[in-house]
Structure 1
Amino acid sequence: MIDTTPPSIDPQIADPGATVAAARIARRLRHADDWQQEIGDILELLGRSLDIHRSILFRLRETPEKSLVQSIPAYWLDETIEGISGPPTIILQSDIHSDPLLGRLAMEGRQGKMFAGLTSEIDGFLRKDFDRQKIKSFLSVTVFAHGHVWGTVAINDCVRERVWTDEEKAALEIVALALGDAIERSRSERHVSEIIHAAILQAALDAVIIIDESGKILEFNPAAEKMFGYERANVIGNDVLDTIIPEFYRAGHANGGEYMQRRGAPMIGRRLETVSQHASGQIFPIELTATEVKVADRRLFIGSIRDLRERRQAEEEIGRQREKLHQNEKMAAMGSLLAGVSHELNNPLAVVVAQSTLLHEFAPDPQTKLRAEKVRAAAERCGRIVKSFLGMVRLHSTAQSEMDLNAVIRAALEVTAYGARSSGIGIDTEFAGEPLTVMGDPDHLTQVAANFLVNSQHALAAWNGDRRIKVSTFRTVDGNCGFAVADTGPGIPEAIRHRVFESYFTTKPVGVGTGIGLSISKSIVERHNGKIRFEEVEPTGARFVVELRAIDAGAIVAAGASVPSGGLRHALIIDDEPDVAGSLSDLLELMGVKSRVVSVWTSAADVLNGYDTDIVFSDLRMPGASGMTVYRQLLDQRPGLARRFVLVTGDMIGARAEVEALPAHLKPQILEKPFSTLDVRGVLAAINDQIDLAR
């Protein structure tokens, strides 16, 4: 019968052999530097003293599934017994799972119970294995080390079935206890522990510094070397106060230990942010976790330090991006407001331009013609300024078209002229004597030139010297075109010139600039495949230059030249502003086109009923129905009007997405307010060209 109860040690020991052997083994293990070097002799001594034929030390390791996996560090065999040669069997985890007895023994082993009995009384895996190894009787005791099951020490009788005495059980238990104590004290186990601790220090991403109560550095891991710029060998034994503590924190402390016990005391057991000092003297932010431990009669302080520079930089970048988003939102809101105001201004400007044109056309005397021409010129200038403003806030991609760079710069000068005059700043111009034809978006390039002019005005606003701006256009040696804006102001310091095109970098006072004008200008020029640069002006000042690829100039239609209306004889004008509609009708009549004006849109069927129109002009923004709604309804009734429809608007911001989404052959023509006679003639010519191409 198997006995799994702990032995009761009888004080009257019958056989002194077992007792003496256990005592010798315990004493030998107590004085051994490494139990593994002694285990072979110990197992032989145990076997011969107890008159057994096998003694084995099993190593047991617990798996995550709470099972035990067995290995054999050492064993002894009585070679005089025939048929028991060879190592003992290693029991696998799968064997433990599949055999009920092995599973029970694994559980009882964790409880410290002995396993003793006869092979003839068991079955399963162990019965077959013990029969194969000729084991008749068996006894094993659990070995505990570091508070856990380490393994078992077992003895076997391979000749006879025997009942183990209490003395034999007690002797084996003494050996197991002595082995557990030796394992805990062994150099190899301590070495493993030291390796683990050293590996943790070596692999730690945070700096780890250990000091004693006097402030002397005892440990300085590789992460600390990298973070603070010291080599470990050069700082071990140094005072931490003079090594990584900023100088302004050192006053009043004799050493680092005093610092930790006084100023550093609030750090113990907490995670906090503070500053430290690099070997170069640089002060940088850190996150510190400090712990106090006691080793024997010594107090040690362990500091785990994390460098916060990258995190702070990331936080600053997030702040910059948040500010950038805020600025973009402000600019978008400003653009929407400007678009709305411009639209309202363009309606009366359209009337003034059209009526002054008509007045000039039908004036009865030269003096009236001259006055009408002055009114028309002033109104058209107002219209160009408004269009330039709108062009700078429109949210659309670069639209490539043939243009004269001289005209772009003149538009930018008109937009910014008032600011220069009101500040007493003189502007000198030097335009090329020939057209500088480039492919680009005139709105975006006007924005670039205007930004240069505004920046120069800001630079000269508080300048006590000569206050002048020179604007020039030119053709380069290789035939390309360019323009430049130079001022006589203080210029830009050499140390920051490389940053002038960075987003949100500005030298202007708070509230004057956003720091994005030059970066946007650089982006626009690069989208045009051009170059932009800064140049110093002598004796003082700054000069910004843009160069663009030139193209051959196209045919230029002379201003005021008559453009035949072709087959366009009847027009439909849809506009809720009677004055604007009337002015457009009058201009069309000068070109031989009769018009019908509709101020309220009802439906395509009602408006077209009985009226055969050749061309349709519709205002974009109207109460009830927008110009795009009118366009879609007219196409349903008269698909042929797709090439004969003109949207009249003060700005295209509201409808650009809808217009751009249409197929190319269905996109309507655009007539922007305020429109001149030339603008209307241009639209009629474009409609005629489309009609001719469709034939």
Structure 2
Amino acid sequence: MIETRPASLDPDIANPGLSVITARILRRLRETNDWQSEIRKVLSELGRGLDVHRTILFRLRDVPGRGFAQSVAAYWNDEAVENIGESPTLIVQSIVNQDPLLEQLAVEVRQGKIFSGQTRELDGFLRQDFERQQIKSFLSVAVFAHGHAWGTLAINDCLAERNWTSDEKATLEIIASAIGDAVEHSLSDANVRDTIRKTMLQASLDGIVVIDETGSVIEFNPAAEKMFGWQRAEILGKDVLDTLIPEYYRPGYATGGDYMSGRGVPMIGQRLETVTQNAAGDIFPIELTVTEMKVADRRLFFGSIRDLRDKRRAEEEINRQREKLHQNEKMAAMGSLLAGVSHELNNPLAVVVAQSTLLHEFAPDPQTKSRAEKVRAAAERCGRIVKSFLGMVRLHPTAQAETDLNQVVRSALEVTAYGARSGGIGIDAEFADGPVLAMADPDHITQVVANFLVNSQHALASVPTDRRIKVCTFRTAAASGFSVEDNGPGIPEEIRHRIFESYFTTKPVGVGTGIGLSISRAIVERHNGRVRFEPVEPMGARFVVELPAVDHSFAIAVAGRQTISSLRNALIIDDEPDVASSLADILELMGVKSKLVVEWTSVGEELAAFEPDIIFSDLRMPGVNGMAIYRELLELRAGLARRFVLVTGDMIGARAEIEALPAHLRPQLLEKPFSTLDVRGMLATITDQVTLSG
């Protein structure tokens, strides 16, 4: 018959063997600070002393999502008995709710009643479970901690049915009470503080290293393991001088204790930045805080270590971004400066080009004609250099047009020629016969060529003699392109895959920004082309650019077409009389008569007695500018607006203003300094435009 009765501690235990077992278990539980580390030994000793085959400590608790549960805190099985090796059953609330006996026992356990008997006397879930575990007899008492039922302590006989004696029941009650006391003791304030300290040590993101007065490592947390590459078990007991202190700090010290007594003294109580060494011998920066502790008669040093490698990398990145911003500001300032300078230079250059052209045309003798040609060629070269510089700092989107790569490369060579000459660098240029045509923005492709030429000049700075750059243009059936090659040291194979990355550079600080090649590749790819690096034997580097080719036969047909201009009268508006008269002289050579206006008044007044076939207007003038005149014509004389040409040396400002208009309303642009060929081409363009619109 199942017996349940209120628990009562009977101090009169008749069996002296049980008294010894009980005393030994009580002493074990009383002396330990961690009952969980001793509980298996307690259960084993209890089982053997009571001659049972299984002892179990159950834990009563709420399991998230499963309600109340009786889980297993620990158990012991007699290995001499077969087929009882599996763990006891976890009983959850849903099972209790379906079994009347379990519901009754749940109430009685909280009342402190003993549960004992034989399995054959049970029914329901417990009988099935006990038979499966071969339990013949059972005895269970409650374990109380902190004023409530914490769990139960149970013993099982798996071989025979037995009637439990009062001595056995009292022994089990006494040990259950001692376990409850141990549970309460383990959760004392001191124990909680100790647990918190251990948890903080393990969870700290900073490396924690504790050494004693001899320099031996006595604590090493997981963050320190990750930081230094040492496992805790490997480094405990080792001298900090031989493990974590860099080799160049070790001379003069026999042990880590000597080091702490000497060089380490200023570190104590301070937060400072220094360096350390990991298991692989790598030196890296750290932030270190050292605190001295006295524990009994021992002197300990507590070190909190923060790895500064990520911080330093972030600082370096910030510095790179700051340098990038500085470079961008310099480029923007240079662009503004060039725009202003170009405007001031292009006006006198326009006069020199135009007048030297006229002098060449009307020279009375060959000697004068030759000198005029030299002046004209030099002035045009100055104009091309200014245009190339401006093209490299223009911010307008890629405007692709039929472009001769031979001319693009020549422009880039003129821009970079001084750097090559001053560096003692020879340049070999091989141009393909005839135009090498591609659909491209000449300004942007000129920038690409110039980037490669500048990079080659920098690479050749380390070559003592025979510094050479070779530039070639070429065409194939599908592509037009160019290459820039130098006989410098080349690019190491291990970094070739990174050379087109933004801000990656092998140049010294202050020489390059690391963005030239990445920008060049971006420009080429926007043109549907490709750029590649090729090593040169025995040493050197070559960069090759290929762009989609233009049908050469079509280009020749277009170039050979002659346009007969029907324009006979021109109106030239410019506040600089020399520029206006030079343009008028060139137009006169082409059969076009001109009227000059130095200061514009209005459309009605200026066109009252003169009807021009084409109008040339300077963009920048005091009072009213060229765009204002053009807008006035659009409103009052739309027919003349289609014959309007802006003349300017400030192409950056001109493009910005023109592109603000709808595409079909944008005027033509003539850039200073202009040659007779430029003016003739503009007359042809206006003639075609008028013909198509008519």
Tell me by how many angstroms 1:600 deviates. Answer: 1.7
CA distance in 2, matches of 1:201, 1:481: 67
Q: Residues 151 and 584 of structure 1: is their aligned pair in 2 closer, same or farther, counting only changes over 3 Å? A: farther
Structure 1 segment 436-585 matched on structure 2, within 5 A: 436-460=436-460, 463-476=463-476, 479-492=478-491, 497=496, 500-503=499-502, 515-553=514-552, 554-556=554-556, 563-566=563-566, 568-585=567-584
Task: Name the counterpart of 1:112.
Answer: none
Task: Name the counterpart of 1:49.
Answer: none
Q: Indicate conservation of the 8 Å contact 2:570/2:615, yes or no.
A: yes
Task: Name the counterpart of 1:617.
Answer: 616
Q: Residues 213 and 367 of structure 1: is their aligned pair in 2 closer, same or farther, counting only changes over 3 Å? A: closer
Tell me by how many angstroms 1:309 deviates. Answer: 0.3
Task: Name the counterpart of 2:394.
Answer: 394
Amino acid at match of 1:408: V
Task: Name the counterpart of 2:256.
Answer: 256
Secondary structure, aligned partner of 1:230: coil
- 1:598-617 CA distance string (max 9 Å, x none): 11234444434444334322
Structure 1 segment 219-618 matched on structure 2, within 5 A: 219-364=219-364, 368-421=368-421, 425-460=425-460, 463-476=463-476, 479-492=478-491, 497=496, 500-503=499-502, 515-553=514-552, 554-556=554-556, 563-566=563-566, 568-618=567-617
CA distance in 2, matches of 1:251, 1:462: 39
CA distance in 2, matches of 1:412, 1:236: 66
Q: Indicate conservation of the 8 Å contact 1:274/1:288, yes or no.
A: yes
Q: Residues 301 and 665 of structure 1: is their aligned pair in 2 closer, same or farther, counting only changes over 3 Å? A: same
Q: Indicate conservation of the 8 Å contact 2:209/2:221, yes or no.
A: yes
Q: Residues 233 and 683 of structure 1: is their aligned pair in 2 closer, same or farther, counting only changes over 3 Å? A: same
Secondary structure, aligned partner of 1:674: coil
Q: Indicate conservation of the 8 Å contact 1:34/1:188, yes or no.
A: no
Q: Return the TM-score normalized by structure 1.
A: 0.69
CA distance in 2, matches of 1:588, 1:561: 21
Secondary structure, aligned partner of 2:241: helix
Q: Which ranges of 4 or more aligned residues in structure 1 deviate by more than 6 Å?
A: 28-31, 33-37, 85-89, 150-153, 181-185, 557-561
Q: Indicate conservation of the 8 Å contact 1:29/1:35, yes or no.
A: no
Amino acid at match of 2:429: T
Structure 1 segment 126-145 matched on structure 2, within 5 A: none
CA distance in 2, matches of 1:422, 1:666: 47
Q: Return the TM-score normalized by structure 2.
A: 0.69
Q: Residues 383 and 30 of structure 1: is their aligned pair in 2 closer, same or farther, counting only changes over 3 Å? A: closer
CA distance in 1, matches of 2:399, 2:391: 11
Q: Residues 242 and 526 of structure 1: is their aligned pair in 2 closer, same or farther, counting only changes over 3 Å? A: same
Tell me by how many angstroms 1:262 deviates. Answer: 4.1
CA distance in 2, matches of 1:371, 1:290: 83
Tell me by how many angstroms 1:236 deviates. Answer: 1.7
Secondary structure, aligned partner of 1:383: helix
Secondary structure, aligned partner of 1:311: helix
CA distance in 2, matches of 1:688, 1:592: 14
Q: Indicate conservation of the 8 Å contact 2:347/2:579, yes or no.
A: yes
In angstroms, what is the RMSD of aligned CA positions?
A: 4.6
- Counting matched residue pairs gives 559
Q: Residues 609 and 298 of structure 1: is their aligned pair in 2 closer, same or farther, counting only changes over 3 Å? A: farther
Task: Name the counterpart of 1:645.
Answer: 644
Q: Indicate conservation of the 8 Å contact 2:324/2:513, yes or no.
A: no
Q: Residues 590 and 151 of structure 1: is their aligned pair in 2 closer, same or farther, counting only changes over 3 Å? A: farther
Amino acid at match of 2:541: A
CA distance in 2, matches of 1:422, 1:312: 39
Task: Name the counterpart of 1:218.
Answer: 218
Tell me by how many angstroms 1:406 deviates. Answer: 1.7
Tell me by how many angstroms 1:684 deviates. Answer: 2.5
Secondary structure, aligned partner of 1:305: strand
Secondary structure, aligned partner of 2:398: coil
Q: Indicate conservation of the 8 Å contact 1:575/1:600, yes or no.
A: yes
Q: Which runs of 5+ in 1 are unaligned?
A: 1-19, 21-27, 38-84, 90-144, 154-178
Tell me by how many angstroms 1:226 deviates. Answer: 1.0
Q: Indicate conservation of the 8 Å contact 1:642/1:668, yes or no.
A: yes
Q: Residues 510 and 294 of structure 1: is their aligned pair in 2 closer, same or farther, counting only changes over 3 Å? A: closer
Q: Indicate conservation of the 8 Å contact 2:29/2:182, yes or no.
A: no
Q: Indicate conservation of the 8 Å contact 1:406/1:431, yes or no.
A: yes
Task: Name the counterpart of 2:162.
Answer: none
Amino acid at match of 1:684: L
Secondary structure, aligned partner of 1:555: helix
Amino acid at match of 2:653: G
CA distance in 2, matches of 1:563, 1:461: 51
Q: Indicate conservation of the 8 Å contact 2:648/2:654, yes or no.
A: no
Task: Name the counterpart of 1:59.
Answer: none
CA distance in 1, matches of 2:562, 2:541: 46
- 1:434-470 CA distance string (max 9 Å, x none): 4322121111212222333344445556744334332
Tell me by how many angstroms 1:624 deviates. Answer: 2.6
Q: Residues 262 and 440 of structure 1: is their aligned pair in 2 closer, same or farther, counting only changes over 3 Å? A: same
Task: Name the counterpart of 1:662.
Answer: 661
Amino acid at match of 1:199: T
CA distance in 1, matches of 2:262, 2:668: 81
CA distance in 2, matches of 1:452, 1:31: 82
Tell me by how many angstroms 1:213 deviates. Answer: 3.1
CA distance in 2, matches of 1:433, 1:647: 34
Q: Residues 592 and 282 of structure 1: is their aligned pair in 2 closer, same or farther, counting only changes over 3 Å? A: same
Q: Indicate conservation of the 8 Å contact 1:563/1:681, yes or no.
A: no
Tell me by how many angstroms 1:243 deviates. Answer: 1.9
Q: Residues 417 and 246 of structure 1: is their aligned pair in 2 closer, same or farther, counting only changes over 3 Å? A: closer
CA distance in 1, matches of 2:558, 2:585: 22
Task: Name the counterpart of 1:688.
Answer: 687
Tell me by how many angstroms 1:650 deviates. Answer: 1.2
Q: Residues 614 and 29 of structure 1: is their aligned pair in 2 closer, same or farther, counting only changes over 3 Å? A: farther
Q: Percent identity?
A: 71
Q: Residues 185 and 261 of structure 1: is their aligned pair in 2 closer, same or farther, counting only changes over 3 Å? A: farther
Structure 1 segment 139-218 matched on structure 2, within 5 A: 186-189=185-188, 194-218=194-218
Secondary structure, aligned partner of 1:633: helix
Secondary structure, aligned partner of 1:573: strand
Task: Name the counterpart of 1:156.
Answer: none
Task: Name the counterpart of 1:107.
Answer: none
Amino acid at match of 1:538: E
Structure 1 segment 8-157 matched on structure 2, within 5 A: 32=30
CA distance in 2, matches of 1:632, 1:609: 18
Tell me by how many angstroms 1:311 deviates. Answer: 0.6
Amino acid at match of 1:440: A
CA distance in 2, matches of 1:575, 1:332: 29
Q: Indicate conservation of the 8 Å contact 1:33/1:186, yes or no.
A: no
- 1:107-136 CA distance string (max 9 Å, x none): xxxxxxxxxxxxxxxxxxxxxxxxxxxxxx
Amino acid at match of 2:437: T
- 1:26-81 CA distance string (max 9 Å, x none): xx9999569999xxxxxxxxxxxxxxxxxxxxxxxxxxxxxxxxxxxxxxxxxxxx
Tell me by how many angstroms 1:503 deviates. Answer: 4.9
| Deviation larger for 636-645 or 232-241 | 636-645
Q: Indicate conservation of the 8 Å contact 1:532/1:545, yes or no.
A: yes
Q: Residues 34 and 297 of structure 1: is their aligned pair in 2 closer, same or farther, counting only changes over 3 Å? A: closer
Secondary structure, aligned partner of 1:661: coil
CA distance in 2, matches of 1:491, 1:517: 17
Amino acid at match of 2:218: L
Tell me by how many angstroms 1:562 deviates. Answer: 5.5
Task: Name the counterpart of 1:46.
Answer: none
Q: Indicate conservation of the 8 Å contact 1:349/1:379, yes or no.
A: yes
Q: Which runs of 5+ in 2 are unaligned?
A: 1-10, 12-25, 36-106, 112-144, 150-177
Tell me by how many angstroms 1:499 deviates. Answer: 5.2
Amino acid at match of 1:216: S
Q: Indicate conservation of the 8 Å contact 2:285/2:308, yes or no.
A: yes
CA distance in 2, matches of 1:299, 1:570: 104
CA distance in 1, matches of 2:364, 2:481: 45
Tell me by how many angstroms 1:296 deviates. Answer: 3.8
CA distance in 1, matches of 2:233, 2:642: 85
Task: Name the counterpart of 1:636.
Answer: 635
Amino acid at match of 2:334: M
Q: Residues 271 and 572 of structure 1: is their aligned pair in 2 closer, same or farther, counting only changes over 3 Å? A: same
| Deviation larger for 508-517 or 219-228 | 508-517
Q: Indicate conservation of the 8 Å contact 1:342/1:650, yes or no.
A: yes
